[in-house]
Structure 1
Amino acid sequence: MVKIETFSVEAWMDEWEHNCTHNIAETCCASISLDELRSLSDSKTKDIFDTSKALTYGTIRGSDELRSNLARLYSAKGPVLPKENIISTPGAIQANYLCAYALVGPGDHVICHYPTYQSLYSVPAHLGASVSLWPASPSTSWLPSLTTLATLIRPNTKLIIINNPHNPTGSILPKPFLERLIALASPHSIPILADEVYRPIFHSLSPLSPDFPPSLLSMGYEHAIVTGSMSKAYALAGIRVGWVASRSAALIERVASARHYTTISVSQLDEGVAAYALHADTVHGLLARNIQLAKTNLEILEKWVVKNEDECEWVRPVAGTTAFVKILRDGRPVDDVDFCEKLVRGTGVLFVPGRRCFGEEFKGYVRIGFVCETEVLREGLQKVTQFLRKEIGDVKFAE
């Protein structure tokens, strides 16, 4: 029997997200309704879904409209990507699972950017691969070392996994870094899987910056694979639509073969909503709403960190929807699990504890999902400030 470890962050959210008043742990841009989605579109009379369509399995690899819209977005900054090089999935979590399932197995070796979403390294391990964690540190603004990466590559390395923009820190792997990463992987033809679910929420970085990271698909590496989702940057977690894309038809065929053993296809209803959201008439308004929300809320979060500078340390995020903040008491990191449990029980505010959900190295850290509704963030942080003033003395220190 396969030994499946507890998926710590999802177990934490399962326990608390419906037992809190201010959820500042969620990683999605504040979710929207279909009515709100329509209001953001330039074609407000267009049907979101054709209700006359028979609800069959649909197009197995994804609807033509959805994949064409995605192909257009991926082709904007590079060579044209055919829609046939994209496969839809029920969320990015299955997209990432399928890539691991298709590409690695017992005896293989995988390198994974760390810390990150647990499934990115746990699933390859469940499949029998040996996994090396490629660590990032706040001392380098959460940028992992390429020198370290070079020492991790083995003859049996079959996959390098990155997360860009990065959960939980909100950092990025800049363009020059990605170029050097490809240069290390290319001589060995190692596929690079880029989880890009927080793309394109670049709230603190200009597209004109030399560091601005393009999608890995735009960088000319034939063994690049990317995954994406409607949940985070597009504020539509409820439709459960993700995708896998690659310029390598061979890689896509391997993923497609693996997919036959899972969900067969994605709900036509879900794909219809996703296609509407990604259409040229809608996507720009939707992303403008979400990027502006991120900018507004990050300003609130930054002021809160400054106000509570004796209790908080961070590297200010530059992209995505999350921040990784270290909570201190008398200059020492707190037990983040004890802190988060006392906080949610006492105030109703939900954070994610770093040590439990991202690794033992991250004692005292909490992940804050700050692109929620602005008033939820504002009110929640006010409650946390009160907790820090009155209750922090009851929180245990990290051991």
Structure 2
Amino acid sequence: MEPPARIVRPVRARRKDAGTDGEGSSPGDAGLRGAQGVRRAGEKRAGDPARQRRLKKEAREKQGKEQEMILNKIAYDPADRASFVAARLALRKENRLGGSDLGTAAGVNKYKSRRRLYEEIKGHVAAPDLGDKQSVKDGVRCEDMVARLFEARTGKKVHRVNAVMTSDAAPHLFASIDRKVENEDAGLECKTANALNKDAFANGALPPSYVRQVKTYMKVTGYRTWYVYVWIMGIKELCYIYTLDPIEKPAWCDTLVTVREAELNECEEIAADFFNAYVLKDTPPPFDGADDEAELLKELHPTGHPGTVVRIEKVTEADLCEYDQCKKTIKHCEERMAAIENRIKEELADAAEGAIGTRKVTWKNNKPSEKTDWKAVAIDAQASTETIAAHTTLEQGARVLRIK
């Protein structure tokens, strides 16, 4: 698919006010300007805090206007997921990472490794379309509802931005935000969670990969504030504020975090380092034991060729000794765990639940599982062995690493 065309937001020229020095000014205007000049001179001499606040506000407004001038957008059709995926892939080829990529590049995404991100960017493995993943489907379906919950709780209004955004201020980043907060330099990130991962939000915490995502969006858009609204299905709702400005915590906010500019700049640095150290040098990041790396290796090298022997140079005998020691430690821990579990089961006997101090233990039967012997069904249906063989396929055996 051809990537969508880049749409550059036009720069609006500033209108020169009619009431400035020259034609069109009135004596009243001149008097007003004179009074303002006297007031500002007095503020400067007295070091008036009001002047400091006004200057900071003017600087923020100037920064916002300058940022808007360099904010580019690649539009996509929200009803066509393929156009959204194509926009993201096109920007990766421009050596840019998105907000959800940055946690991976920083090594804080427990679901995806830096190595997989590298292999996807290089085109060695296909980037999975997470739109087919159930948790992602649930999140997409619930996103609009979460946005409405945010509006109801805060009184603010939000709208969609059907575009992937880039900025000259962040040449290695891009942002695809959930919502823009109206009449405010702010965005909204909508998140859903369930009872299984609710602990990730305990004690006002936000998962590190989400924090990186928010800071990436702030860096790209130039917005001063980002709201994160989390709906933990059937349990509770949480509202977070990440802001560059010192503000009082609103009553409806659960967690307020003040962010420094250096933290936003760090997002650009992480992305730049990832491309410069790995992608542009064709040097893959080392494996670090992340959950998805074993599956990645199966995709990269699904079959071993019999009779081929190579000399391994990056792994030493010292590494193998460490590996052996880890196996012994794991075996010892598993044996100790099994012994404790069996002692608990012995005391539970036929009871389904028990108490140990302040903790609860259970020993219950799972729901019965069903399994159909289709070969027996075929025989009972008097299917011939030739018919059974015609519908029988061989699957590739698992590729197992053994260290001798």
- Tell me if both proteins adopt one fold, taking TM over 0.5 as the criterion: no
* Higher normalized contact order (CA 8 Å, seq sep 6+, divided by chain length): 1
Structure in which a larger fraction of residues adopt helix = 2
User: TM-score by structure 2 length?
Assistant: 0.24
TM-score scaled by length of structure 1: 0.24
**Greater C-alpha Rg:** 2
